[in-house]
Amino acid sequence: MNVPSFTFLGFAAIAALLFNLCAGLRAGLAWRRAILLVTNLVFFASFSRDVLAYLPFILFLALGFGGLKLVAARRSRGAFLLAALPVIAAFFWLKRYSFIPDAAFLPFPYMAIGLSYVFFRVLHLVIDAHEGTLPDEVGLLSYVNYTLNFTALVSGPIQRYQDYHHMEAVDPPPLRLIDAGVALERIVIGFFKVIVVSVLLSAIQSRAIGLLSPAQPMADRLGTGLLIAAIYPVYLYFNFSGYTDFVIGVARFFRLQLPENFDRPFSSENFIAFWSRWHITLSMWLKTYVYTPLVLTLARRFDSARLEPYFGALAYFVTFFLVGVWHGRTSVFVVFGVLQGLGVAGNKLYQIAMANRLGRKRFRALGANALYRAFARGLTFTWFTFTMFWFWSDWHQMAGFVAAMGAVGTIAIWPILWVGATIMLAVLEALRHAALGARLRGHSLLNSRYVRTAWGTALVVIGISVTILLNAPAPDIVYKTF
């Protein structure tokens, strides 16, 4: 079952109606859990007709639950390692990472959609059980509903169990008419982003890739190469953030508030800030369970005030190297991880160097300069765009791109992209500021009920029209493959 799609919407609507039949907490808790369980299992079972295909995934869940119970019963380092290491090893094995011999893999196809996100949830439960920070004992029903939550199974967001449990069993958010309206608005916006905008951007990039040729004049080649490079991050943003908007809206009808995953990432003025606004739940998970423990360990191991600022740079590199490696199992994603690590670590080292050279006050003043901010924003976008080549293409495709562009063209597109991104993003920031500043009777015009209703209606009409005209299945979410 594709997310988003009309089929999924119909399925979720029926489940939400049943879920909300009993609104009272005491009378309705068992009912809501049961309906959510059935909904999660039906959605999970929609990806294959082969029963055997689900067995590895189910065994992975069982391994995680067994490890969770072991750690909860015996909060010792040995019990934690005995629980966590098999979960990590099973994940690498089921995801078929290239450092594992082919002969070791299962000889039949199996369901792996959502496994990467379930892995984070399971490992989070084991770690927090070891640290004693879970709210209470995690029962089998809550475990299954949390790990297989159908609104976040395919591509996240990654929600903490503590937040999920509070909404599921302690204090579910009310579902008032205004809440339903906001949720529907998120669904419409997400659907439009994925079905219309991301499809259009993908088609533009595919056409540009087909046009790129050494026979093109250099000016045309530069334009085509720039389009190929710059369009993909924008496409990925609309594809993934659209999915996130959609599932956040759907989850709200089940009294669940999924965490936000995007916060205008292309407005970021450095690479560290970018990763606090792009795939937020992934970077926050790794910050909590990798970055912070690593910094604390280094600080305890090396008691040096002079070295302390650099611990963060090293921890950033390790953390975001893991971000890259998590995305894929081949050498391309190892390089992707190295580039992400270099981006955030280099950003941190630059901040340290500039603060030492200028002083914190003068460095903050420089950061407030409009021209500096504009070029920093453009540079951040350019670096992310560069790293994306190791995300969407393989070595053969990259070699073809370099051969078609030539050495001069391959090098030249990056400073051109930096300048172009600087100008374009500055214009977009100015337009956004002006739009948000427009007032009607003292209230924001853009956020008024009438404008939002008209905008939402237009998106619905366009989205349905495009779907009917294309007469094609809903496009896949890129992060579904991870």
Structure tokens, 351: 């901040």
Residue 26 predicted with pLDDT over 60? no
Structure tokens, 173: 């958010």
Q: Which residues contact 452 (CB under 8 A, 6 or more apart)?
A: 185
Structure tokens, 327: 């995305």
Residue with tokens 């019963």: 73
Structure tokens, 123: 């490992």
Name which of 90, 22, 93 is nearest 61 in CA terms. 90
Residue 82 predicted with pLDDT over 90? yes
Mean local confidence (pLDDT), 214-236: 95
Of residues 203 and 170, more confidence is placed in 203
| Cα gap 186→182, rounded to integer Å | 6
Mean local confidence (pLDDT), 385-408: 94
Structure tokens, 75: 């909060």
Give residue 468's pLDDT band: very low, low, confident or very high (50, 70, 90). confident
What is the model's pLDDT at position 81? 95
| Cα gap 271→377, rounded to integer Å | 9
| Cα gap 43→148, rounded to integer Å | 9
Instruction: Give first-to-last CA distance, the chain, whole Å.
Output: 17
Question: What SS3 state is found at 420?
Answer: helix
Enumerate the domain spans of the chain: 6-170, 177-262+441-481, 265-437
Residue 397 predicted with pLDDT over 80? yes
Mean local confidence (pLDDT), 353-373: 93
Distances (CA, A) of 105 to 53, 63, 109, 200: 14, 18, 10, 38
Of residues 470 and 270, more confidence is placed in 270
Question: What one-letter code names the amino acid at 89?
Answer: A
Distances (CA, A) of 294 to 154, 245, 291, 301: 30, 33, 5, 10
Please compute Rg for the chain using Cα positions: 24
**Do residues 20 and 179 lie in contact, with contact meaning Cβ atoms separated by under 8 Å?**
no
Name which of 266, 274, 278, 277 is nearest 426 in CA terms. 266
Would you tell me how many other CB atoms lie within 10 Å of the CB of residue 440?
11
What is the model's pLDDT at position 27? 61
Indicate if the alpha-carbon torsion angle 441, 446, 452, 457 is positive or negative: positive
What does the pLDDT look like over 419-445, one tens digit per residue?
Answer: 999 999 999 999 999 888 888 777 788
Q: Where are the alpha helices (DSSP H) in 279-369?
A: 280-286, 292-301, 308-327, 331-358, 360-368
Mean local confidence (pLDDT), 233-262: 96
- Element of type H or E holding 475: none
Q: What are phi and psi of 139, to 5 degrees?
A: -80, 165
Q: What are phi and psi of 167, to 5 degrees?
A: -75, -35
Give residue 446's pLDDT band: very low, low, confident or very high (50, 70, 90). confident
The lowest-confidence range among 21-30, 153-162, 262-271 is 21-30
Question: What one-letter code names the amino acid at 43?
Answer: F
**What's the mean pLDDT when you consider all of the chain?**
92
Share of the chain above pLDDT 70, in %: 99
| Cα gap 99→463, rounded to integer Å | 43
Q: Which residues contact 56 (CB under 8 A, 6 or more apart)?
A: 94, 106, 110, 111, 112
Structure tokens, 89: 């090893």
Q: Tell me the β-bridge partners of 262.
A: 278
**Do residues 326 and 341 lie in contact, with contact meaning Cβ atoms separated by under 8 Å?**
no
Residue 23 predicted with pLDDT over 60? no
Residue with tokens 């030492």: 356
Would you tell me how many other CB atoms lie within 10 Å of the CB of residue 151?
26
What is the model's pLDDT at position 266? 97
| Cα gap 101→89, rounded to integer Å | 14
What is the model's pLDDT at position 136? 84
Q: Which residues contact 269 (CB under 8 A, 6 or more apart)?
A: 367, 373, 376, 377, 380
Task: Give the side-chain half-sphere CA count within 13 A for 92.
Answer: 15
Name which of 369, 384, 367, 380 is nearest 422 in CA terms. 380
